[in-house]
Amino acid sequence: MDSGFDFQSKPDALGPLDDDLTPVTGPVKVFEGEEKYLSARKLDARAKLCAEIAPILGRVLDTEETVLHVLPALHYPRFLELFGFGMWWTFFFRATLILTDRRVIEVLMRDGRRAGTRVCSYSWGQVSDLKFSMAALKLKPAKGRTQKWKIIERGDRKLLKLLVPNIQQLLPGDIHAPRPVPLWHCPECGAASPEHPKQCSGCETQFKTRGFAAVLALAFPGAGLLYAGHPILATLDLFGEMFMYGIVAVLFLVASGPAELFAAFVVGLVILFFTKLESAHLASVLVHRTKTDRVNAKWRRAAIVGAVVSVVLLALPPVLSGSFGNKLDRDLDLSVNAPGWSGGHNPEEWLFGVEPNQRSEWIRDDDGQAVFVWSWTMETGETYESLADAFKTGGQEVPVEPISIASLDGFRVNQSDVDDEGDAYVWVRWVLFDRQFDDVHVVGTFVYPGEIESVEAEINDLLQNVDWIPAE
User: Quick one: 120 and 168 in the same domain?
Assistant: yes
CB neighbours (10 Å) of residue 192?
14
| pLDDT above 70 (res 309) | yes
Instruction: Give percent helix, percent strand, percent coil of the chain, each to the nearest 5.
Output: 35, 25, 40
Of the two residues 299 and 76, the one the predictor is more confident about is: 76
Do 463 and 443 touch, CB atoms closer than 8 A?
yes
- Assigned domain for 49 exists: yes
Span 117-126, pLDDT tens digits: 999 999 999 9
Domain boundaries, position 283:
210-319
Cα separations in angstroms, 374 against 124, 258, 358: 81, 16, 4
| pLDDT above 50 (res 2) | no
Span 126-146, pLDDT tens digits: 999 999 999 999 999 988 899
State which of 146, 168, 193 marks the end of a domain. 193
| pLDDT above 70 (res 114) | yes
- Assigned domain for 255 exists: yes
Range 346-350 average pLDDT:
88
- Assigned domain for 372 exists: yes
User: Quick one: 270 and 377 in the same domain?
Assistant: no
- Assigned domain for 305 exists: yes
Span 199-254, pLDDT tens digits: 888 888 888 888 888 888 888 888 889 888 888 998 999 899 889 888 888 887 77
Burial (CB < 10 A; 0-12, 13-18, 19+), residue 329, is middle
User: Quick one: 168 and 45 in the same domain?
Assistant: yes
| pLDDT above 80 (res 281) | yes
User: Quick one: 39 and 187 in the same domain?
Assistant: yes
Task: Please state whether beta strands 424-434 and 408-418 pair in parallel, antiparallel, or not at all (unpaired).
Answer: antiparallel
User: Quick one: 88 and 148 in the same domain?
Assistant: yes
- Give the residue among 356, 354, 329, 359 at the shortest CA–CA distance from 344: 359
Mean pLDDT of the chain: 84
User: Quick one: 42 and 188 in the same domain?
Assistant: yes
Range 290-310 average pLDDT:
74
- Sign of the alpha-carbon dihedral angle for 187, 188, 194, 196: negative
pLDDT at 98: 95
State which of 293, 319, 345 marks the end of a domain. 319
Residue 339: helix, strand or coil by DSSP? Answer: coil
Task: Please give the Cα distance from 226 to 224 (Å, whole number).
Answer: 5
User: Quick one: 218 and 341 in the same domain?
Assistant: no
Domain count, the chain: 3
Amino acid sitting at position 144: G
Q: What is the DSSP string of 149-206?
A: EEE--HHHHHHHHHHHHHHHTT--SS-SS---SPEEE-TTT--EE-SS-SB-TTT--B
- Assigned domain for 51 exists: yes
| pLDDT above 80 (res 158) | yes
State which of 128, 161, 193 marks the end of a domain. 193
Do 290 and 209 touch, CB atoms closer than 8 A?
no
Span 413-423, pLDDT tens digits: 888 888 777 78
- Assigned domain for 61 exists: yes
Do 95 and 121 touch, CB atoms closer than 8 A?
no
User: Quick one: 334 and 453 in the same domain?
Assistant: yes
Task: Please give the Cα distance from 87 to 91 (Å, whole number).
Answer: 9
User: Quick one: 315 and 358 in the same domain?
Assistant: no
Which one-letter DSSP state was computed for residue 388?
H
User: Quick one: 222 and 285 in the same domain?
Assistant: yes
Residue 464: helix, strand or coil by DSSP? Answer: helix
Task: Please give the Cα distance from 272 to 259 (Å, whole number).
Answer: 20
Amino acid sitting at position 279: S
User: Quick one: 347 and 371 in the same domain?
Assistant: yes
- Assigned domain for 229 exists: yes
Please report which confidence band the pLDDT of residue 335 belongs to, taking 50, 70 and 90 as the band edges.
confident
Please report which confidence band the pLDDT of residue 3 belongs to, taking 50, 70 and 90 as the band edges.
very low
Domain at 353, CATH number: 3.40.1000.10
User: Quick one: 216 and 174 in the same domain?
Assistant: no
- Assigned domain for 222 exists: yes
